[in-house]
Amino acid sequence: MGIRTLLWAGFFFGTCIAAFANPIWGLIGYIGHYTVGPESQWWALPVNSLGLRYSFTLAGCTAIGIFLHRMKSTFRGGLLHNQQKLILVFLGIVWMTTLISPETVGRYTSVDHPSVKLTKVVIFCFMLCHVATTLKDFNRVLMILVIGAFVLGQKAYEMPRSAFIGGRLEGVGGPDFAESNFFAAFLVGVLPIIGVQFFRATGYVKLVCLVSGVFVTNAIVLARSRGAFLALAATAIVAVFYAPKHLRNKIYLGLILAAIGAFRLADEQFLERMTTIFVSAEDRDSSSDMRLEAWKAGLRMVQNHPLGIGTGNWYQQIPRYAPDLGGLDSHSTYVKLLAEQGFLGAIVFGSILLSAFFTLRRVRRRAINLPPELSMDFQMLSLGLTLSMVGFFLCCGLITLLYMEALWWFLVLPICLERTLDHSEQKWLEEHQANRQGNSSRMGNHKGEHSQSFHEATV
């Protein structure tokens, strides 16, 4: 049995068992499994032969761990954050459009229907919001994303030429990353987290973040996704203007280093494909033209069906609106959202997205009142997640990611960060109050000793 097989077996079974003691380890195992996608890796075959459903097993162990530790909640407020309530409303709309629309045919025979998949994703996301609520556990979640992205980047570096289709790297990582655009979008979302963790970390962890950043940047180049390239460029611009003044020097340094690294890694094929973004209508390639036609067809769908054509029904409806585009994806999360869930679903999803950004802004403002070191930590984390969401959801404009699990992770991580802030704030206030009581007690003892000494002296 090879070393990679042993490492994966140890990671999987170790996180399953550790989830009973601390549910965060079950979540870390789940995220690690999702990112790496061991089912498609040769080194995981001996473990795959056991017939285990990795994600189901890890989620089950996590749920048991949460039940066992149900009395140890570390966050204030109600069980559900307002944003979680909006997510439940959106899930209800997904199921409503599924039930009132024609049955989905010929697409989801071997995998879960999007409504079923999204239900499972929401359950996991709610567990994440319930568990990753301390600074230590939240940091663990971020680091498994950093390490998972490094593994993806390292695998992309090792892939043979046969893995490149039309000059683009395909089939790296879990099932959600089977297509290069999805793969690149996920890495775009993780890259700002890697940058923030690099600035926050010390010692070998800083080195891990640096190496991960290099491999992830190289993997994005190999994916040759124009949507990812535009999203990264826009994220860099947002970082320059959105970063707090006292963090801008670090942000500028990070962007300069990232730009130098990306330029060094970019090859001729990457540069050639990116130049096609800025061409005239006459010089557009067929891919761009078909994308525009798909968007127009999607808008016609929502005109005819304001409540949506039904979750998962895009592929069976597109030939009716654009016969030449049969089997073609929408190439836009927002177009598919409008077409399948209608105006109501789009409004609720937009509310979820805005709520996530407002939550991060609220964290950033509240963090100012904390001690300097802790305040800096939360402001950096808020900035990192904001940039991750900007990059990822800009990718959504050109890539269909509505039913991609990672999309919903990025939406609920702000909830985790706010609950982490609640916990840190409460802990700091308790320590501050204890210190004040301790000082008052010492002052009282000192006064008592002084009075006794004065009495003895007068006697």
In terms of domains, do 227 and 277 share one? yes
In terms of domains, do 41 and 135 share one? no
In terms of domains, do 55 and 148 share one? no
In this predicted structure, what is the pLDDT of residue 454? Answer: 32
In this predicted structure, what is the pLDDT of residue 176? Answer: 85
On whether residue 385 sits in a domain, the answer given is yes
In this predicted structure, what is the pLDDT of residue 279? Answer: 52
Domain containing 362: what range?
73-435
On whether residue 453 sits in a domain, the answer given is no
Among 33, 32, 24, 126, which residue's Cα sits nearest to residue 65?
Answer: 24
Domain tally for the chain? 2
In terms of domains, do 225 and 331 share one? yes
In terms of domains, do 270 and 123 share one? yes
Residue 272: pLDDT band with limits 50, 70, 90? low
Which structure tokens are listed for 434? Answer: 């204890």
In terms of domains, do 67 and 116 share one? no
Over residues 408-417, the pLDDT tens digits come to 999 999 999 9
Degrees to nearest 5, angle at CA 307 with 306 and 312: 115
**441, pLDDT greater than 70:** no
More confident residue, 355 or 459: 355
In this predicted structure, what is the pLDDT of residue 455? Answer: 41
Over residues 188-243, the pLDDT tens digits come to 999 999 989 998 888 889 999 999 998 998 888 888 888 888 888 888 888 888 87
In terms of domains, do 371 and 302 share one? yes
DSSP string, 134-145: SHHHHHHHHHHH
In this predicted structure, what is the pLDDT of residue 453? Answer: 46
**131, pLDDT greater than 70:** yes
In terms of domains, do 143 and 176 share one? yes
On whether residue 285 sits in a domain, the answer given is yes
Among 391, 367, 369, which residue's Cα sits nearest to residue 379?
Answer: 367
On whether residue 117 sits in a domain, the answer given is yes
How crowded is the C-beta side of 269, counted as CA atoms within 13 Å?
A: 12
Over residues 94-121, the pLDDT tens digits come to 999 999 888 888 777 667 899 999 999 9
In terms of domains, do 363 and 377 share one? yes
In terms of domains, do 260 and 271 share one? yes
Q: What is the mean predicted confidence (pLDDT) over 161-176?
A: 79
On whether residue 454 sits in a domain, the answer given is no
CA 246 to chain centre: 26
**274, pLDDT greater than 70:** no
More confident residue, 454 or 277: 277
In terms of domains, do 345 and 325 share one? yes
Q: Which residue's entry shows tokens 């559900």? A: 80
Residue type, 149: A
Q: What is the mean predicted confidence (pLDDT) over 304-330?
A: 88
pTM, to two decimals? 0.88
More confident residue, 295 or 45: 295
In this predicted structure, what is the pLDDT of residue 324? Answer: 81
DSSP string, 24-71: HHHHHHHHHHHHH-GGG-GGGHHHHTTT--HHHHHHHHHHHHHHHTTT
CA distance 416 to 3: 34
Over residues 358-396, the pLDDT tens digits come to 999 999 999 988 888 888 899 999 999 999 999 999 999
In this predicted structure, what is the pLDDT of residue 282? Answer: 47
On whether residue 276 sits in a domain, the answer given is yes
Among 333, 228, 223, 230, which residue's Cα sits nearest to residue 278?
Answer: 230
On whether residue 243 sits in a domain, the answer given is yes
Look at residues 54, 72, 90 and tell me which one is the last residue of a structural domain: 72
The mean pLDDT value of the chain amounts to 85
DSSP 368: G
Task: Kindly give, in sequence order, each residue whose CB lies less than 8 Å from that of residue 226, ignoring residues fewer than 6 positions away.
Answer: 273, 274, 276, 277, 398
